[in-house]
Structure 1
Amino acid sequence: MNAFRSKPLKYPWPPLLYGLAILAALVLERIASLPVPQFQSTVAWITGASLTIAAIWLNVWAIKTLLESRAPAMRRRSARHLVTRGPFRYTRNPIYLGYTLMTASFGLLTGNPWFLVTAIIAATITTSVAIKREEIVLLSRFGCDFESYCKHTRRWI
């Protein structure tokens, strides 16, 4: 087995990326405010609050599933077994999906469309920087089991 492929990420890039996405949305709103269609602010706020609750619930459920499965919640440690239950039945990256939903929900809560833009950018960068590397590590560790899991479970949703 290639030693490079068996090592997980040394730094948790996705939380940093989403933190930068939130910061960028705030800065961009001050520099170049986008026109927002006048859509009932109460509806947008309720939708944003619902997405925030869903994102928090998804992250808690995913971390709880990892802890119950005795799998590392931080990707800096190597997984000993493949977790395919809980939210991992529906998405291979429920925590990153939660981060994306949370970032997008801030846009609805605040009326700042830059949050939606930066959420998409953060998800795209997370896919290339973290997820693809994690998938290589999992494929090298779990082989056919991981390939089968990938065939039945989407990367995002």
Structure 2
Amino acid sequence: MRKVMEWVDLPPVWLIGHLVLAWAIGALMPPMMGEAGQGIGGALGLAGVALMAAAIGQMVARRTTVIPRRDPSALVTTGVFGWSRNPIYLADALILTGAILWWDAVLALPLVASFVSVITARFIRDEEARLTAAFGPEFDLWAGRVRRWIGRR
């Protein structure tokens, strides 16, 4: 049972769950944004995919894991990691937001906050503890320069 929970409790599963809820809300609600929502949503979704690809590429190049709850072998602080300490999770949030707008499910937008909250509580805090243990002051310097989700200090 524990092994099953390890596979179920992964960020893509949480993203899919939020996407399913957003789709259901969109299917039940009348349209509100029309083509504008599809344009904005499509752009956000594509930006999310591009950001995720860039982040994964950087992590693979540094030969460190992209799988949550595994110990990192390198601290990636440049490229997209110079603007977000969690660009893959940010990409997930962009994809979710894009899908909500694409499906014209505006009333599902609070699901983005729910997703961010779940990911922060279930994954990011643990990853930050692992990075602190593995890289100490180097992680602290990076965390002091780059925000958890997006932006520099």
When normalised by structure 1's length, the TM-score is: 0.83
Paired with 1:59 and 1:125, the residues of 2 have a C-alpha distance of 19
Gaps of 5+ in 1: 1-9
Gaps of 5+ in 2: 1-5
Question: Any conservation in 1 of the 2:85–2:147 contact (CA below 8 Å)?
Answer: yes
Alpha-carbon distance, 1:119 to partner: 1.8
Q: Which of 33, 43, 46 is the matching residue for 2:39?
A: 46
Question: Any conservation in 1 of the 2:100–2:109 contact (CA below 8 Å)?
Answer: yes
Structure 2 match to 1:20: 17
Structure 2 match to 1:136: 129
Alpha-carbon distance, 1:30 to partner: 4.9
Tell me the amino acid that sits aligned with residue 130 of structure 1: F
- Higher normalized contact order (CA 8 Å, seq sep 6+, divided by chain length): 1
Question: Any conservation in 2 of the 1:18–1:119 contact (CA below 8 Å)?
Answer: no
Look up the SS of the partner of 1:78 in the other structure.
Answer: coil
Question: Any conservation in 1 of the 2:72–2:130 contact (CA below 8 Å)?
Answer: no
Structure 1 residues 2-151: aligned runs within 5 Å: 11=7, 13-30=10-27, 33=29, 38-39=32-33, 41-151=34-144
Q: How many residues are paired up? A: 144
Structure 1 match to 2:3: none
Fraction of identical pairs, as percent:
27
Paired with 1:84 and 1:108, the residues of 2 have a C-alpha distance of 31
Look up the SS of the partner of 1:82 in the other structure.
Answer: coil
1:74-110 deviation line (CA, Å, top 9, x unaligned): 1243111211112111000000000000011011111
C-alpha RMSD over aligned residues = 1.8
Which has the larger share of helix? 2
Paired with 1:149 and 1:129, the residues of 2 have a C-alpha distance of 21
Alpha-carbon distance, 1:13 to partner: 2.3
Tell me the amino acid that sits aligned with residue 22 of structure 2: A
Question: Any conservation in 1 of the 2:62–2:76 contact (CA below 8 Å)?
Answer: yes
